[in-house]
Homo-oligomer: A and B are copies of this chain.
Amino acid sequence: MSASRYTYLGPAGTFTEAALRTLPEAATRELVPMVSVPAALDAVRAGEAAAALVPIENSVEGGVTTTLDELASGEPLMIYREVLLPISFALLVRPGTELTDVKTVTGHPVAQPQVRKWLATQLPDAVWESAASNADGARLVQEGRYDGAFAGEFAATTYGLAPLVTDIHDAQNAATRFVLVGRPARPSAPTGADKTSVVLWLAADHPGALLELLQEYAVRGVNMMRIESRPTGEGIGRYCFSVDCEGHVTDRRVGEVLMGLKRVCRDVRFLGSYPRADEVSANVRPQVTDAAFTDASDWLARCLDGRG
């Protein structure tokens, strides 16, 4: 029953699972934790799962490189949804533990910079050791290896622990962005608040090559939301770019940007158009609305017909 199965970056009890459970359709799916992002995505590629939820960007740590690289290479996949999950940690302990009893703490390496300041002021003498995941850290506390684990509060019940302190986050508005990835198919219908993702390989490393790429967006008034360079693996100085922009592939300005990129880039991988998790509608200048594009094509047709 692959169509009813969603994989995600496991183990159970991580923020990824919490993010997945915010999707209404998750309630009717079998949710299968996988050991890694590549494993979660390969299950989709192999047809063993309909989709996979994986983290792609963290507001503190930046891009999740494994996910970016997986989407840029191998058999093509497409993004259908994104989930933005505010990240705040709870300090999970065995029931009965007091704050003064906590001498050793653990958590995923990504969690550490997000709780560093809190630790320095509240538990300056506690020793940090990294765990394979936040959930794994919780399990190690359950087993008695550490006194406390930084994880999502929701992980407490899974591991029979208690949230001693909640809402721990050094950075205000810390959040992780996750994407729901499936095999390529027609993009879902535009909602008016959409995002379009591509991976771009520059045609040649000439001066202005990156500017050319940015101009394809700028000239059609399409706002670029994120651009991240990733090595292509072909040697130092060879990059591809992971780019998100506002709008949907069926918006004419976005379609023209993609066609322009296809012409000037060595390769373009379309990663999908999908609803923005923040539900913010693009601020579309009147010059680049679908109506403006239609007016311009009609005018050109009249010029070609001698009625310009």
Residues of A participating in the B interface, judged by any CB pair closer than 8 Å:
76, 78, 184-187, 203, 212, 215-216, 218-220, 249-250, 255-256, 258-260, 262-264, 268-270, 287-288, 292-293, 295-297, 299-300, 303-308
Contacts and interface: CB of A to CB of B under 8 A. Distances in A.
A296 B184 contact: no
A295 B268 CA distance: 12
Given A263-B296, A287-B264, A249 B303 contact: yes
A187 B258 contact: no
A222 to B, nearest CB: 12
Contact of A255 (B249, B259, B262, B300): B300
A80 B185 CA distance: 48
Contacts of A216: 219
B263 A184 contact: no
11 contacts: A215-B218, A220-B260, A249-B303, A258-B300, A258-B303, A259-B293, A259-B296, A260-B296, A263-B287, A263-B292, A263-B293
A259 B294 CA distance: 9
Given A259-B296, A263-B288, 4 more contacts: A78-B308, A219-B219, A264-B287, A269-B308
A127 to B, nearest CB: 50
B76 A300 contact: no
Contacts of A259: 293, 296-297, 299-300
Contacts of A219: 212, 215-216, 219, 260
A182 to B, nearest CB: 10
A249 B307 CA distance: 14
B306 A184 contact: yes
A185 B287 CA distance: 27
B263 A304 contact: no
Contacts of A256: 256
Contacts of A296: 258-260, 262-263
A304 B260 contact: no
Contacts of A269: 308
Contacts of A287: 203, 263-264
Contacts of A307: 184
A2 to B, nearest CB: 18
A66 to B, nearest CB: 22
A181 to B, nearest CB: 14
Contacts of A292: 263
B264 A300 contact: no
A289 to B, nearest CB: 9
Contacts of A249: 300, 303-304
